[in-house]
């Protein structure tokens, strides 16, 4: 188990949408969804586009470049050309902060 890190204040998230946040040198995507906050790497694993510029529909993030899609809860690919799961991190809320656990 890794450590929990403060990522971004909850009130800085765009409601029902995806917000970028940096953790050190890593750019992450923070998703505000009907089941709570989920976090992934921001880079799409298909062609390196920024998922923070994508389109979020409930639990589905659609990549802005080739419209590949992933489930933000577990990272599984939902639509071509995405074929590999995206990297997701456990997230929680503490004292108004989104925290992520890094391996
Ligand atoms: Fe995301 Fe191609 S870069 S689907």
Domain extent listing, the chain:
3-102
Decide if pLDDT at 1 tops 90. Answer: no
Please tell me the distance between residue 94's alpha carbon and the centre of ligand 1 in angstroms. 32
Helix (H, G, I), strand (E, B) or coil at 49: coil
Please compute the mean of the pLDDT values over residues 46-56 and round it to a whole number.
Answer: 98
Domain spanning 3-102, CATH architecture? 3-layer Sandwich (2.102)
Please compute the mean of the pLDDT values over residues 52-60 and round it to a whole number.
Answer: 98
Predicted TM-score (pTM) of this structure? 0.96
82 ligand 1 Cβ < 6 A = yes
Q: Are 8 and 91 in contact (CB under 8 A)?
A: no
Q: What is the mean pLDDT of the chain?
A: 97
What ipTM did this prediction achieve?
0.99
Please tell me the distance between residue 103's alpha carbon and the centre of ligand 1 in angstroms. 25
Q: Convert the pLDDT of each residue in 61-100 to its tens digit.
A: 999 999 999 999 999 999 999 999 999 999 999 999 999 9
| Residue recorded with tokens 């970028």 | 20
């Amino acid at each position: 188990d890794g450590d929990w890190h403060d990522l971004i204040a909850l009130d800085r998230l765009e409601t029902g949408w995806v917000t970028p946040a940096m953790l050190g040198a890593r750019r992450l995507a923070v998703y505000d969804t009907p089941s709570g906050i989920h976090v992934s790497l921001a880079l799409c694993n298909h062609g390196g586009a920024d998922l923070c510029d994508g389109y979020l529909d409930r639990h589905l993030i659609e990549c802005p470049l080739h419209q590949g899609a992933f489930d933000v809860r577990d990272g599984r690919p939902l639509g071509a050309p995405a074929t590999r799961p995206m990297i997701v991190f456990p997230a929680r809320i503490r004292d108004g902060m989104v925290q992520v656990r890094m391996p």
